Structure 1
Amino acid sequence: RLTQSETDKILHMEEELHERIIGQNDAVKAVSQAIRRNRTGLGNPHRPIGGFLFLGPTGVGKTELAKSLATFLFGDEDAMIRLDMSEYMEKFAVSRLIGAPPGYVGYEEGGQLTEAVRRRPYSVVVLDELEKAHPDIYNILLQVLDEGALSDNLGHKVSFKNCVIIMTSNVGAREITNKGSQLGFAAKQSEEDQYKDMRQNVMEEVKKTFNPEFINRIDEIVVFHSLSKEHIGQILDLALEDVDDKLAEKELEIELTPAAKEFLVDKGFDVKFGARPLLRTLQRELEDPLAENILVNRYPAGAKIIVDCDKEAGKLTFSGAAAKKEAVKI
């Protein structure tokens, strides 16, 4: 039975996940509902907590949602086991998941999947780029999703009942990206209707890629949206909070003008690659110059760093109260 604090936490799961996940309301809702079913005893007790297929282009939040789930459910972002399925394209790679047969190299080490879960039974298991795995891998996943257990090469029966299984795929990514770039331009269709049409097209791609037996074992197929410029602005605000926390440890404050934020969003927005270009832009345009200025002691303890934008020069400018030295040229 759930305690009152656990009940409150599960009820407000979406709110907590939305603190880190931007622009993916459908994904957060689908995952939260599945977790609630399991936690209230309505799910199958012999299967994993949840089995999800995350579909979407790179940089839209698939891995970030997995990390957020690990933190939410198990209190630690490191409670996540990640395997890149592009490394399991060959038939012999199946043995690497559950362990090599007797007499083969690595027999005593156990399987990369089974051993990781045996050592950390409460975890989020992420299988990235599932469509690249050898078809025989799906038979192993069917067993995990259906029975919540897997026997390794050493005869250990490893339970997955306390795991969340997340499989990610780029199947239909082009369809999602194309629709994402069109959102807001189709006057006759609402954004919700456009998403439904896009999801339907992506599901057709899924049916061509994965067999029905496998699809039917998945609790929820979650289609991620492409990120808009507005979403990138919200992700920037989250990233700046992290920068702010790091500077606070050095007794420094930072404030970006609207022009500076607009500059970063414009340079970091790319509908094809999601949030990743923004994070690279933030590192190059903000963090690197800040690091150089801090190294030459430009800012005394307690200084407030004001970051603005020089549009003509096409770069950010930095000024701090009671500056000790000249700024490093950037």
Structure 2
Amino acid sequence: GNVIIFIDELHTLVGAGAAEGSIDASNMLKPALARGEIQCIGATTLDDYRKHIEKDGALKRRFQPIYVQPPSMDETIHIIHGLRDRYEEHHGVEISDEAVVEAVKLSDRYITDRFMPDKAIDLIDETGSRAKLQAYSLPGELKALDQELKKVASEKEGAISLQNFEEAVKFREEEERLRKLLDESKREWKKTQEQNKPVITKEDIAFVVSKMTGIPLVKLEEEESTKLLRMEEFIHKRIVGQEEAISAVCRAIRRSRAGLKEAKKPIGSFIFLGPTGVGKTELARALAEFLFNSEDALIRVDMSEYQEKFTSSRLFGAPPGYVGYEEGGQLTEKVRRRPYSVVLFDEIEKAHPDIFNVLLQVLDDGVLTDSLGRKIDFKNTLVIMTSNLATKLIQKGVSLGFQRTEQADQNKRMKDEVLAELRRVFSPEFLNRIDEVVVFHQLEKEHLVSIIDILVKELNARLLERGIQLEVGDDVKHWLIKEGYQPMYGARPMRRTIERRIGDPLSEELIRGRFKDVRKIKVVLRDDSPLFVEEEALAEV
């Protein structure tokens, strides 16, 4: 009567031991539970309770269900303080108070698929294990001594096999000396390790979280307010022009990070409108690198692949009974594995309209349920959609966007025309959930000098393995602009022009072996065509 039985995973008793003509373990428990002969506490999950125990009404009636909610952050800190001594003893480390607080804070923010206090305790445990392995690995001097001992032992064996016993005696004496020295050094090292236990700090916790989630360490450690304030400066290194567009995006992200947005919604949701080749997709890549320190954090979905209604099952998973049901969706699986990311829906006007109805709950509640019934959390994602809807207006000769030479009312009129086109194509309930519609303008000639600088920098990065640096003069840049400027198509014709006019002839010269011992090449203009000149030859001229 004074004993309480605790059964973990209670649902496993249902059907356990059942065979022809016998009863299972749960039915054997029922009479004792009904008479109050035993006191029992069982633990199971909601899904397993519904699947196994609710089906057996008699067993369900004998237990009073109590729903256990995950503890708050403060409660989790108290729980870990109570467990800290055991983990310190187990790993042979000291866990600082700041590490406990950081573990709770970072696990709550970055580990989204598990619950407190389990994920915070696991984080402390894993960090302690890492600290122990690092601290108790042999230092370099002891490893070198051990290698030397093995070498001498091998030479001694070689001398014995050649019957060179005088040499063998010398090697044996040297071996004994080294073994004594190694044993003594190991004892001293172990004694020092026991006296100076490694201390786990918040930096150690941040490192383990970055390994678990794939979010770079800089993202966790850097003061976020400082980073957000220099957001425009970072993005302008990659995107030329588009000041209004970049400013609108940065404002929305800062508003979100300052805590002025709804907690359950995504970090931000944008539609990028504008002609082709002006930097819409590139801005999404730049945002992925800025927010999550890696372009790999960009999940790109090409909407031209979803032109039919039934293709939505590829995004969110096939329904039960259909091929691919167990595989999950292409979008939901990627976000589930990498919840901190930029989700880019490229060229949305090409997708079937019904697909956007499914995205309504992502934009509103930050949640999407996949075909397996799992709720995928989008609250830590940035949702970006790009569209070329405005290209038709460009083709009519209408100047788009925010050009410095135009007056403010002309600017506004152009933007209104683009937004009217957007409202014609997309439903009001979809547009009403977007944080901001960002309009990109055509690239002007003065922007192309900066674009050429960026493209030459990319070319130099590829030439780096050959130890060559390429320098392009201002006259060549203006000549390239004259050759490759096509306002209708943005920056892409300029990339092709550089590949054709500089990349192709340079690759031929490299294959011929002309620049084997050259470190710097300057591109100059001769007779309306580019010429590659070594730095030394240029000095002579």
Correspondence 1:296 to 2:512:
yes
- 1:74-112 residue CA offsets vs partner (Å, 9 max, x unmatched): 010111111111211211112111111122111111111
- 1:130-154 residue CA offsets vs partner (Å, 9 max, x unmatched): 1221121111111110010101111
Residue matched to 1:222: 438
- Residue 316 of structure 1 is aligned with which of 530, 534, 541? 530
Larger RCO (CA within 8 A; separation ≥ 6): 1
Q: Which moved more, 1:37-46 or 1:63-72?
A: 37-46
Q: CA RMSD in A?
A: 2.2
Indicate conservation of the 8 Å contact 2:297/2:340, yes or no: yes
Residue matched to 1:126: 344
The whole-number CA distance in structure 1 between the counterparts of 2:372 and 2:446 is 52
Structure 2 unaligned regions, length at least 5: 1-104, 106-219
The AA in structure 2 aligned to 1:276 is: R
The whole-number CA distance in structure 2 between the counterparts of 1:59 and 1:151 is 35
Correspondence 1:142 to 2:356:
no
Helix, strand or coil for the counterpart of 2:487?
coil
- How far off is 1:228 after superposition? 0.8
Correspondence 1:280 to 2:515:
no
Correspondence 1:190 to 2:406:
yes
The AA in structure 1 aligned to 2:456 is: L
Indicate conservation of the 8 Å contact 2:288/2:294, yes or no: yes
Helix, strand or coil for the counterpart of 1:116?
helix
The AA in structure 1 aligned to 2:532 is: F
The whole-number CA distance in structure 2 between the counterparts of 1:233 and 1:17 is 17
Residue matched to 1:175: 393
Indicate conservation of the 8 Å contact 1:255/1:306, yes or no: yes
Please tell me whether Structure 1 or Structure 2 has the larger radius of gyration of its CA atoms.
Answer: 2
Name the structure with the higher helix share. Answer: 2
Structure 1 unaligned regions, length at least 5: 324-330
The whole-number CA distance in structure 2 between the counterparts of 1:183 and 1:110 is 42
Seen in structure 2, the aligned counterparts of structure 1 residues 4 and 299 have a Cα distance that, compared at 3 Å, is closer
Helix, strand or coil for the counterpart of 2:260?
coil
- 1:165-212 residue CA offsets vs partner (Å, 9 max, x unmatched): 11111122232563448998x9xx735443222101111111111111
Residue matched to 1:6: 224
Segments of 4+ in structure 1 off by > 6 A? 1-4, 181-184
Indicate conservation of the 8 Å contact 1:256/1:307, yes or no: yes
TM-score by length of 1: 0.90
- How far off is 1:240 after superposition? 1.2
Helix, strand or coil for the counterpart of 2:345?
strand
Residue matched to 2:255: 37
Residue matched to 1:116: 334
Indicate conservation of the 8 Å contact 2:341/2:382, yes or no: yes
The whole-number CA distance in structure 2 between the counterparts of 1:103 and 1:181 is 49
Indicate conservation of the 8 Å contact 1:117/1:158, yes or no: yes
The AA in structure 2 aligned to 1:174 is: K
Residue matched to 1:327: none
The whole-number CA distance in structure 1 between the counterparts of 2:434 and 2:401 is 30
The whole-number CA distance in structure 1 between the counterparts of 2:300 and 2:292 is 16
- Residue 92 of structure 1 is aligned with which of 304, 310, 315? 310
The AA in structure 2 aligned to 1:222 is: V
Indicate conservation of the 8 Å contact 2:317/2:324, yes or no: yes
Residue matched to 2:370: 152
Indicate conservation of the 8 Å contact 1:252/1:301, yes or no: no
- Residue 307 of structure 1 is aligned with which of 512, 523, 528? 523
Indicate conservation of the 8 Å contact 1:180/1:271, yes or no: no
- Residue 448 of structure 2 is aligned with which of 232, 239, 252? 232
Helix, strand or coil for the counterpart of 2:442?
coil
Report the identity percentage.
52
- How far off is 1:13 after superposition? 0.7
TM-score by length of 2: 0.56
The whole-number CA distance in structure 1 between the counterparts of 2:274 and 2:417 is 13
